[in-house]
Structure 1
Amino acid sequence: MRHTLPIAPQFYVTAPQPCPYLEGRMERKLFTALQGEGAERLNDSLSKQGFRRSQNVLYRPSCSDCAACLSARIRVADFLPSRSQKRTIRRNALLERRATSPWATEDQYDLFRRYLDSRHADGGMADMDVFEFAAMIEETPIRTRVIEYHDTSTRDLAAVCLTDVLDDGVSMVYSFYQPDRSGDSLGTYIILDHIRIAREAGLPYVYLGYWVPGSPKMGYKAKFSGLELYVGGKWQKMRDPADYSAEMHPLSTDPIAEQVANISLPGSVPARP
């Protein structure tokens, strides 16, 4: 009988490019392909180690002299809504959640374009056309859902979140919403509803992506109780946000080979740089 050994994921590093979070800095990412029969197990494992999914790629910041980006997740059992968050839930009581397969629609793209043009007109996604949008939604080798929120009073599509289902939680890959409803705090509401989704499914965590001290656009994540950050190779309860630094230092990041060697892979397959 022939036996085949599991193929170890190959890890690569992107070329430096301008950081979208901290002005004047350059970002670099460590990444690997997400494909094959072991895609779900690899995604589950690396998500617990600070990686994020973008289509068929898993990535994690690996900047040469900056370690400001910290992966964040909410421990559902420890979450208690603030008074402001309770008001946000009440303001959006007319929204109806619909979970669908990862399939892009014209309504989604129209909302996506309005959101980008209003909120991120100069961002890296600003030039995405309908085909690139469809790829973002549909190119997923794992268990993914599109969570839509419809206004029951107008039947309009108010918000959308592309959501991965992990073995220990839900991961919010990307969300967008009606930009003219800023008073409704739709971004916050989507997170609050994902906490509800995870709780209903018996999943302990909601993965939010990266929190970046010093970046105003990331400040909202620190407002959720039960928040944990991936720091120094382990998850820890978030302290006072002011305790975290975004200062640059030449020893902020371990060498690439050392980073890869410390990545734990499913099935104890050693990673390869």
Structure 2
Amino acid sequence: MSTQLRSLNMHVTQPFTCAYLANKSTRLMMLVEPFQNANTYYPILLQNGFRRSGEQIYRPDCEQCQECQSLRINVSEFILSRSQKRLLNKNQHFKVKISKKNKPEYFSLYQRYIDTIHKDGDMYPATYEQYSGFLASVWCDMIFIEIYDDKKLIAVSVTDKIGTLPNSAWSAVYCFYDPLYQSVSLGKFAILKQLALAKDLNIEYLYLGYYIKNCQKMNYKTQFNPHQRFINGLWLSFD
């Protein structure tokens, strides 16, 4: 861990069942007292492989497993693949907006997404308390990237804003969408739109959370290239 973080109060949880890899346990290193420290230290924590969930900042700290690798994209270096160009063309009729408010209508969309697409996950069934506890934060500066089909809201990407120009970043916290649009790859489309907006605003990095090679829900992130992964304390580049 960076020497700048060694003075922070951290707590390591007891092992519990891993949600991503079968027959594995996991434990988390968590920032104690995030209300006091998170706003100040979030940028450097993010650079050291941490992530936000609700008010909490955490990083996997598994003794026998190093599969979770934080992944980020240098926005100015990102290159669209042929399939990504086709996806953008296919969905070009969708409109994208940025909101700074957590709107009431987001929850119903989130609920339909979880209860339809993630019935096998530990977030099912969706509740408002779970939704709020997972995504909201009083100390973090967030934006909500909305995708519309005409006037219908079909997807929301909850995105944290970190740092200031020229050392700024976005962290993609979670994306949820209308299950009726599952066939048009809204999750990948939302990331492409995050990257396009970030480039327009001169954001340096977009963080996509954790890449896990042997987890289908998490390994799609390596389709966005070039990218970097945080491995053994270093950011390594991949094409």
Normalised by the size of structure 1, how large is the TM-score? 0.79
**Counterpart for residue 108 of structure 1:** 106
- Give the counterpart of 2:155 among 159, 164, 169: 159
Structure with the largest fraction of strand: 2
Kept in 1: contact 2:145–2:194 (CA 8 A): no
Q: Secondary structure at the match of 2:210?
A: strand
- The RMSD of aligned alpha carbons is 1.6
Q: Measure the CA separation in 1 of the matches of 2:138 and 2:53.
A: 8
Name the structure 2 match of 1:139. 137
C-alpha separation in 1, matches of 2:132 and 2:57: 19
Q: Secondary structure at the match of 1:140?
A: coil
Aligned to 1:185: 185
Query: What's the secondary structure of 1:99's corresponding residue?
Result: strand
Partner of 2:57: 58
Q: Deviations over 1:160-187 (max 9, x none)?
A: 1110011221100111112222221100
Higher relative contact order (CA 8 A, sep 6+): 1
Tell me which amino acid in the other structure corresponds to 1:20: A
Q: Answer whether contact 2:114 2:126 (CA < 8 A) is retained.
A: no
Q: Would the aligned equivalents of 2:13 and 2:27 in 1 still touch at CA under 8 Å?
A: yes
Where does structure 2 lack aligned partners over 5 or more consecutive residues? Answer: 1-6
Q: Equivalent residue of 2:35, what SS?
A: coil
Q: CA deviation at 1:119?
A: 1.8
Q: Give the stretch that moved more between structures: 16-25 or 62-71.
A: 16-25
Quote the offset at 1:135 in angstroms: 3.6
Whole-angstrom CA distance in 2 between matches of 1:25 and 1:214 = 12
Inter-partner Cα distance in structure 2 for 1:203 and 1:49: 18
Q: Deviations over 1:246-273 (max 9, x none)?
A: xxxxxxxxxxxxxxxxxxxxxxxxxxxx
Identity %: 32
Paired residues, what number?
A: 228
State whether residues 104 and 133 of structure 1, in contact with CA within 8 Å, keep that contact through their aligned partners in structure 2: no
Residues 1:85 and 2:84 are matched in the alignment: yes
Q: Following TM superposition, by how much is the alpha carbon of 1:199 offset from its aligned partner in structure 2, in angstroms? A: 0.7
* 8 Å contact kept, 1:31–1:57: yes
Partner Cα separation in structure 1 for residue 116 and residue 60 of structure 2? 27
